[in-house]
Amino acid sequence: MQKEAEKIGLQQIEQARKGDVSAFNRLIERYYEGILHLLKQRLGNVADAEDLAQQTFAKAFENLGSYSSKYAFSTWVYSIANNCCIDFMRKRRIGSTVSIEKLVEDEDFNTKNAQLNPEETMIAEQEMMEASLLLDKLKPQYRRIIELRYLKGYAYEEIAAEQNMPIGTVKTHLFRAKDLLVKMIVAKHKP
């Protein structure tokens, strides 16, 4: 039964890749409730979860050509949902927490601090300290991958070589580490 469902799912994916919108709609019907449940859990807001579920499937449709049948479609679409959720939370900027990606984008952090007024400098230093404390709470394997990817700017292949692990494992560890960081940030700022 499971194999038959997978076969039907792969057929729908192939049809959707060829432009069959109804085939993609059947895929949405199949995964929508699970995606919505995940997003409601993460966000605690039904309206935002529904918006992000729609965004997830829009991105999935746009990027269907990059899907590889070596992996379960559900895993692929759930990772899109998780990334949409992380992006949404980053944009919403929960509390005064700064995202890791924002800190990394500020490669010239110290140079920029020299140009800030004293209050801005203090806030930036507090954000860096908070990010550092959150990183310290991660398991060493996750913390190291975050440091290599975002603080040192390593590519997945470079991380895989340094850590002596497959690229897929690097991506999985990075995904889990970011997920844990988001959960820690949310928990810290819940009333």
Average pLDDT over all residues of the chain: 77
Lowest mean pLDDT among 96-110, 111-125, 174-188: 96-110
Architecture of domain 94-191: Orthogonal Bundle (1.10)
CA pseudo-torsion sign 64, 68, 74, 79: negative
Residue with tokens 């309206």: 47
One fold for 1-92 and 94-191: no
Which residues, 6+ apart, have CB-to-CB distance to 136 below 8 Å? 143
Tokens for 46, please give them.
Answer: 């039904």
CATH number belonging to domain 1-92: 1.10.1740.10
Q: Which amino acid belongs to residue 54?
A: Q
Q: Which amino acid belongs to residue 156?
A: Y
**Dihedral-angle region of residue 145 (phi above 0 means left; psi in -120 to 50 means alpha; beta otherwise):** alpha
Tokens for 160, please give them.
Answer: 């895989």
By C-alpha distance, which of 48, 31, 30, 27 is closest to 39? 48
pLDDT reported for residue 125: 65
Please state the domain extents for the chain: 1-92, 94-191
Residue with tokens 């990606």: 101
By C-alpha distance, which of 12, 5, 7, 2 is closest to 64? 12
Which residues, 6+ apart, have CB-to-CB distance to 46 below 8 Å? 40
Tokens for 162, please give them.
Answer: 């340094």
pLDDT reported for residue 147: 83
pLDDT reported for residue 112: 45
Of 2 and 22, the structure prediction assigns the larger pLDDT to 22
What pTM does this model have? 0.47
Q: Assess whether pLDDT exceeds 80 at residue 9.
A: no
* Average confidence (pLDDT) over 108-115: 47
> How would residue 152 be classed by pLDDT, with cut points 50, 70 and 90?
confident
Beta strands in the chain (DSSP E): none
Of the ranges 55-59, 86-90, 152-156, 177-181, the best mean pLDDT one: 55-59
Phi, psi of 124 (to 5 degrees): -60, -40
Of 159 and 93, the structure prediction assigns the larger pLDDT to 159
* Average confidence (pLDDT) over 90-115: 52
pLDDT digits 0-9 by tens, 65-85: 888 878 788 888 888 998 888
* Average confidence (pLDDT) over 87-102: 61
Chain-centroid distance of CA 13 in Å reads: 23
* pLDDT over 70 percentage in the chain: 75
pLDDT digits 0-9 by tens, 40-69: 888 888 888 899 999 998 898 888 888 887
pLDDT reported for residue 141: 87
